[in-house]
Amino acid sequence: MSTNTEVAQIFYAMADLLDLQGERFKPDAYRRAARSVESLGEDLRKVAQRGGLDQIPGVGEQLREKILEYIRTGRISAYEKLRATFPPGVLELMAIPGIGPKTTGRFYTELHLDSPAALAQAIDQGRLNGLAGFGPKKIENLREALRAVAAAPPSSRIPLLAAWRLARSILQELSRRTPVDALEIAGSVRRCRENCGDLDLLATSARPPETIAVFAGLAGVRKVVMQGDTRATVIHDPGIQIDLRVVEPVSFGAAWQYFTGSKDHNIHLRTLARDAGLKINEYGVFRGEKRVAGATEADVYDAMDMQWMYPEIRENQGEIELAQQKKIPSLIQIEQIRGDLHRHIPDAPDRSWMKDLVTEARRWKFQYLGLVEAPGGSAASHRSRIQEIRRLWNEAQPEGLRLHLGWEVVLGKMMDPPDPESLFDYIISVPDKKGSAISPKPPTSPLLRRPLFVGHLSLGAPGAEVPREAAGPWIDWAQTNGVALELTAAGAEEGLDAGGARWAHEAGVVLVLSAGAGALSEIELTVCRARRGWVPPDGVLNSRADAVGATAPKVSKPKRPPRVGRTERRGPAAGERTDP
């Protein structure tokens, strides 16, 4: 897609959202600008270079700034903010053919309908009858449109971050509303695969049918594909299949192991079990009729004379042999992360965010936080903001938590303000994307100043696996320049993925693990992704107390002996971290 089309699409989408908010004039202004941008014969970046954005019909000062932001960063923050003001279900409702922003807005404000599922229910209950402008024919059309959307096959595979967020929220809801004892994520989400076919959940419960019924009745459930006493399969908004199985506590470990997979890992285990005169399945490990293991995963692997291993590496790529030799290396864990080095300083007029951030950082037992100033704006404005942040931090004096200030700089661009060392503790370099979604190859010119790490690297679409051709040049560059590379919860869209992390680590490049643009708690997913890349604690810069201020980071081979079992219940999906 060209920059022009991309910008036009965002403006159209913003117009719809502004309509939904009930704005009167702004939506038309955005649509007019979108149409002119779309029909422009010249690339927007060229127009911007010659300073001609102002001459585009319908583009005033505010829209010009948004276009410039898009060219500079590949995103428009106002659009992201606008989207975030609505529940995701409302956006899905608006996307259904035949339901525009105006109708969605009325459903949302007049009937409090916030998802396609809620609308379907309201129609069934007759709550639309008598609503001005909604005759029987129109209601029938709505019903038809909803049916068509619900019947559509779940859209291929889901990016990990979306699957993980959904799985987390469902676990929270279920554990709040039903008598579950254990409740965990299995399948590819637990293994932290970059994209997931469906979600696999596993529970033990005092009253299985009740747990299943609550699950099948969740607000986001579009369709119940199958419902029994101990199992159900549903299609959840926005078209994601979820399986829930309730199992006996004596089999929980075996079931968790089995449904975590991968299939190849399981097949290999089954062969080994057979050779040892054992049988392994989702109910346990058996010698003859006797169950010799099943309650915990550690028991299951132990019965096979193997070390327990992290779910993220169960891909039948040598981990089984290592577990037999008791040589599974120690890989990075969330408890070893000492801070996030890439939290952007919010553009909020009041500074209450700082208190929230500190609270959240405490929850993770962080020792430092890196607040980062993004490019753009004048030297004077950076200076006053940074000085204010330092002053506020000193006033708050959060005990045991250090503040580091980072400066985000576009690679190869001139750097202002002229005396950055006095303001900032470290530099993050970001690639010069020039409006394209994917980052170009690293620059060949020498570095003006060495950054601590490279962030906002986009090496692929959401849910995509980073190809070696895309990651390789950056890994070489990072190695040559002694710079670390970033990994975030968004994967290829915002940094390396698990595969890239593995290549980088093997090449001796240090990694920085960040939460990314979402909640700080999502750093947990980043850590899982790093484990999938076989990254040990020593390979992670922000597992070190002196992450900032250290000279060229170097990786040494892990010396600590592998630790077994202790982390089992803390798998990437364990619900316990969400409720401190």
**CA nearest neighbour of 441 among 468, 414, 478, 470:** 470
Q: Is 316 in the site for ligand DGT (CB under 6 A)?
A: no
Q: Is 439 in the site for ligand DGT (CB under 6 A)?
A: no
CA–CA separation, 118 vs 107, rounded Å? 10
User: In this chain, which of 200, 319, 538, 568 binds Ca ion, going by CB under 5 A?
Assistant: 200
Look at the chain and count its residues. 580
Q: Is 319 in the site for ligand DGT (CB under 6 A)?
A: no
Shortest distance in whole angstroms from residue 189 CB to ligand DGT: 7
Q: Is 200 in the site for ligand DGT (CB under 6 A)?
A: yes
User: In this chain, which of 105, 253, 261, 500 binds ligand DGT, going by CB under 6 A?
Assistant: 261
Q: Between residues 280 and 371, which has the closer beta carbon with respect to ligand DGT?
A: 280
Task: Please give the single-letter amino acid code of residue 222.
Answer: R
Task: Find which of ligand DGT, Ca ion, none residue 568 binds, CB within 5 to 8 Å per kind.
Answer: none
**CA nearest neighbour of 151 among 277, 81, 235, 255:** 235
Q: For Ca ion, what does the binding mask look like between residues 240 and 259, x meaning CB under 5 A?
A: ---x----------------
Q: Between residues 261 and 460, which has the closer beta carbon with respect to ligand DGT?
A: 261
Q: Helix and strand tally (H, E) in the chain? A: 21, 17
CA–CA separation, 390 vs 392, rounded Å? 6
Task: Find which of Ca ion, ligand DGT, none residue 261 binds, CB within 5 to 8 Å per kind.
Answer: ligand DGT
Interface of this chain with ligand DGT, residues 177 to 196, rule: CB under 6 A: 187-188, 193, 196
Q: Between residues 274 and 327, which has the closer beta carbon with respect to ligand DGT?
A: 274
Residue 202 dihedral angles phi and psi, to the nearest 5°: -140, 135
Instruction: Tell whether the torsion through CA atoms of 101, 107, 110 and 113 is positive or negative.
Output: negative
User: In this chain, which of 6, 194, 198, 408 binds ligand DGT, going by CB under 6 A?
Assistant: 198
Task: Find which of Ca ion, ligand DGT, none residue 382 binds, CB within 5 to 8 Å per kind.
Answer: none
Task: Find which of Ca ion, ligand DGT, none residue 308 binds, CB within 5 to 8 Å per kind.
Answer: none
Q: Which stretch binds ligand DGT (CB under 6 A): 65-73, 168-176, 255-263, 466-474?
A: 255-263
Distance, first Cα to last Cα, the chain: 44
Shortest distance in whole angstroms from residue 260 CB to Ca ion: 10
CA–CA separation, 366 vs 28, rounded Å? 47
Q: Is 198 in the site for Ca ion (CB under 5 A)?
A: yes
CA–CA separation, 489 vs 392, rounded Å? 29
**CA nearest neighbour of 463 among 514, 502, 512, 497:** 497
Structure token pair of residue 428: 């993050």
**Binders of ligand DGT: how many residues, by CB under 6 A?**
14
Q: Give, as one character, the DSSP assignment of residue 540.
A: B
Q: Is 259 in the site for ligand DGT (CB under 6 A)?
A: yes
Q: Between residues 119 and 232, which has the closer beta carbon with respect to Ca ion?
A: 232
| H or E stretch covering 6 | helix 3-20
Q: Are 508 and 479 in contact (CB under 8 A)?
A: yes
- For residue 349, give every residue at least 6 positions away whose Cβ sits within 8 Å of its Cβ, in sequence order, or none: none
**What are the residues binding Ca ion (CB under 5 A)?**
187-188, 198, 200, 243
**What are the residues binding ligand DGT (CB under 6 A)?**
187-188, 193, 196-198, 200, 258-259, 261-263, 266-267
